[in-house]
């Protein structure tokens, strides 16, 4: 290298160094976004809520007059976003910086099974899992999964409700869980109380709860993972041991059952069978098989828990607004008639029901705080400094309960999505498209399946049944006050009673005749 070239290289390096130091100094002088005052060292650790965090942060934002909030807990920085446009700016337009995930000590270290690709940090390992999911469940294959879901709705939901309407919640869980197991493993499902569905639901509900940042203190104070099992307050470690054993079982047993069916030539088309067959001759087949097994767990966790919550919320909404139910039933009758069941092809023509589904997802955001993103580099937004490694939460509850966009947000009001001309408003965020299923590169890849299943289940229920308040022994209606609990990432309606009866003048038995009497689906 010549002296001139060396000199130029040194000058360029010096310029880069000076600029970098300038940027560091500049950013260190920038303020953090508004947030509550904290204590020395522990900062906001003692003020971070373990329940209903979404409501706390919405109220805190209103109190501080800011749509973004900044907190710290023993060195972990947290950014709360209460505004859709800010979430889109950071999580979508700046997705290269905001697409990773923060560490989840309870799931990754204490349970010791970082198996859900939805919780994995951004990188090749995550891409390998998500690629398998999107290849099989791409929107171009939606018709295949809609057909399977429709069969389950008719056999596993409608027929069961007709036979035992009081067990509605149980039927919903078995039906939706059955859809997830069927499209994933291709295994036959018992029409009622399937043991695999029940065990899967319980196990994955516990595992997703471990990922909820406010559910376990160890997710806020990672050092707690080192406390001995025998110490008071360390019950979470015993729970983790039990959960680990259950997770290994639920990942291995249905996977092995599908592999056995493949060997016998009896495996139906499903995620595991199709994926393993596609990669059978690949040199990295063992790695692909492991990715498929782990991705399968994410399918059940994502499809089942969220769709069950949304469908139960829909029923609760019908209880609150019988006039909405009747109007939606009238529309379904006009499109479908009385002598057949709703089909997927009817969906584009059910405009009012579409508004009802949107309001269902807005009224109770299924994942009110979402799954946190994580910054991979320092960033600056609107003059505020956001550090690398910051956990970023998109507060769906605050966004969908914004009084300016959705006046009286606690009311179930589908009409808010319909303009004076009778068409869907385009000046409001659509909960079927934005917020509900996440943002940017981390948006739920199975959202189209969940939306379609919810819509078909809602249309089918309204076509055949009336949903009213249950009555006590004196014939008095048992009113239901809408309440939602957040036991994990998902916020479910508190258990409620309702009365589901066949609609007058509707021969429900005849319409469901071919779907009743079967033990398996």
Binding-site residues from annotation for heme: 444
Cα 187–Cα 190–Cα 193 angle in degrees, nearest 5: 125
Ramachandran category for residue 471: left, alpha or beta (phi over 0 → left; psi -120 to 50 → alpha) = beta
Q: How far apart are CA 369 and CA 327, in angstroms?
A: 32
CB-based contact 171:158 (threshold 8 Å): no
SS3 content of the chain, % helix, strand, coil (to 5): 55, 10, 35
Half-sphere exposure at residue 297, Cβ-oriented, CA atoms within 13 angstroms: 28
C-alpha count within 13 angstroms, C-beta hemisphere, residue 520: 8
Q: Which residues are annotated as a binding site?
A: 444
* Rg over CA atoms, the chain: 25
Structure tokens at 413: 């009001």
Determine the Cα–Cα distance for residues 409 and 305; give it in Å rounded to an integer.
Answer: 24
Measured distance CA(188)–CA(322) in Å, rounded: 37
Phi/psi at 442 (5° precision): -100, 10
How buried is residue 165: exposed, middle or buried, by Cβ count under 10 Å (0-12/13-18/19+)?
Answer: middle
- Strand pairing of 76-81 and 391-394? parallel
Q: Please tell me the number of Cα atoms within 13 Å of 451 on its side-chain side.
A: 23
Can you tell me whether residue 170 is helix, strand or coil?
helix
Distances (CA, A) of 342 to 154, 172, 463: 10, 18, 8
Determine contact, residues 42/379, Cβ cutoff 8 Å: no
Residue pair 379/94 in contact (Cβ under 8 Å)? The answer is yes
Q: For residues 414, 416, 420 and 422, what is the CA-based torsion angle, rounded to 10 degrees?
A: -30
217 exposure class (CB count in 10 Å sphere: 0-12, 13-18, 19+):
middle
């Amino acid at each position: 290298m010549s002296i001139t070239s060396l000199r130029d290289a040194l000058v360029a390096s010096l310029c880069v160094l000076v600029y970098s130091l300038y940027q560091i100094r500049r950013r260190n002088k920038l303020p953090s976004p508004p947030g509550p005052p904290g204590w020395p060292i522990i900062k906001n650790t003692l003020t971070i809520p373990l329940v209903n965090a979404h409501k706390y942060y919405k109220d805190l934002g209103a109190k501080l007059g800011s749509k973004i909030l900044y907190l710290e807990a023993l060195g972990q920085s947290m950014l709360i976003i209460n505004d859709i446009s800010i979430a889109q700016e950071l999580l979508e337009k700046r997705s290269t910086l905001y697409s990773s995930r923060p560490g989840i000590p309870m799931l990754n270290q204490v349970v010791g099974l970082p198996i859900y690709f939805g919780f994995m940090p951004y990188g090749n390992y995550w891409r390998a899992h998500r690629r398998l999911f999107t290849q099989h469940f791409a929107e171009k294959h939606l018709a295949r999964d809609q057909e399977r879901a429709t069969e389950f709705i008719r056999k596993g939901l409608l027929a069961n409700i007709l036979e035992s309407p009081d067990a509605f919640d149980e039927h919903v869980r078995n039906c939706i869980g059955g859809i997830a197991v069927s499209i994933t493993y291709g295994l036959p499902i018992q029409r009622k109380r399937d043991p695999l569905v029940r065990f899967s639901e319980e196990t994955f509900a516990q595992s997703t709860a471990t990922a909820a940042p406010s559910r376990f203190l160890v997710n806020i104070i990672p050092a707690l993972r080192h406390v001995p099992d025998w110490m008071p307050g360390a019950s979470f470690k015993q729970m983790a041991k039990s959960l680990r054993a259950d997770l290994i079982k639920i990942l291995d047993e249905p996977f092995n059952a599908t592999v056995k069916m493949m060997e016998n030539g009896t495996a139906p088309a499903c995620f595991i069978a199709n994926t393993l067959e596609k990669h059978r001759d690949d040199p990295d087949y063992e790695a692909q098989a492991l990715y498929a097994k782990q991705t399968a767990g994410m399918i059940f966790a994502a499809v089942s828990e969220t769709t069950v919550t949304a469908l139960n919320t829909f029923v609760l909404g019908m209880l609150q607004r019988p006039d909405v139910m009747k109007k939606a039933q009238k529309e379904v009758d006009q499109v479908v008639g009385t002598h057949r069941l709703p089909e997927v092809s009817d969906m584009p023509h059910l405009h009012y029901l579409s508004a009802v589904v949107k309001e269902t997802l807005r009224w109770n955001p299924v994942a009110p705080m979402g799954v946190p993103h994580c910054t991979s580099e320092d960033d600056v937004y609107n003059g505020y400094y956001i550090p690398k490694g910051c956990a970023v939460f998109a507060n769906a509850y605050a966004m969908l309960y914004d009084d300016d966009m959705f006046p009286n947000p606690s009311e179930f009001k589908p009409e808010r999505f319909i303009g004076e001309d009778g068409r869907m408003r385009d000046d409001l965020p659509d909960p079927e498209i934005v917020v509900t299923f996440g943002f940017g590169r981390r948006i739920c890849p199975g959202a189209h399946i969940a939306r379609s299943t919810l819509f078909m289940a809602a249309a089918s229920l309204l076509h055949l049944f009336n949903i009213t308040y249950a009555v006590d022994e004196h014939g008095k209606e048992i009113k239901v006050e809408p309440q939602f609990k957040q036991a994990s990432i998902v916020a479910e309606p508190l258990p409620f009673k309702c009365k589901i009866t066949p609609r007058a003048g509707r021969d429900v038995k005849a319409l469901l005749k071919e779907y009743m009497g079967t033990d398996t689906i």
